[in-house]
Structure 1
Amino acid sequence: MDKLEYIPGDLVKFATNNYTIVNFEENFLHNKICYALISTNSTKTALVADRDILPIPLTLEILEKNGWKSINGKYALKIKNANYVVLEFTEDGIYTYINENTMLFTIKYIHELQHLLYALHIDSNLKI
């Protein structure tokens, strides 16, 4: 079975709508993971297989909507003690840094940013 890519709270796309993952269950008999979803703009719910879920690309507009500031072509979000999470958009993906010094890893999607924010104990509930 593939590694679990999504966790509860992640924002994903299913069909034409955006959803938040509420829960998941592994079906070992059919070797797949199913996710329970709730729509971000209604009370619509769905139970879908992992192969039917698409990640939502991370965009500059989403960052700005969530309080990230553009500084010298990069985007920063202040965390604790005058520290910042910094994102730099490149052709290879979005580089993630702490204070522009320590590169963590490259991301492309909203749920990956949510995982980083969660690990740093920052609110990972993003507006899209």
Structure 2
Amino acid sequence: MNKLLLVLYFVLAVISVNSQLIGKFLAGAQNTATKLLKSDNNNDGSGNYYFNYEQSDGTKHEETGVLKDPGSLNPFVVAKGFYEWISPENRKYHVQYEADQNGYRPKVEEGPGATPIRVVATMMGG
């Protein structure tokens, strides 16, 4: 009986310590919540669009879409852009891409200072 009480006491102590640590972890996570720093969105309703956003955790995404061959039997959108983020290991990843009727074609850069290549918003004109 004493062994059972001792084991039960030990289990309750472990649960108590773990719940305190989880509470501290969650409180810290709430203090470091990711914030939206910048956001822009423009859609002309005919297939041409542009958007971007940037967050406080280093995440960025920018994309421009242009409708090609409007009025034809096979119109399609060409999307060009990039996105980047910082990994838990503090490495920056940058993906530049183009997507169209031929598929998705990414170019991935990895490194502590991967440089973003900005998409020019004037692409929307052609």
TM-score normalized by the length of structure 1: 0.28
Larger radius of gyration: 2
Q: Comparing both structures, which one devotes a greater share of its residues to helix?
A: 2
TM-score normalized by the length of structure 2: 0.28
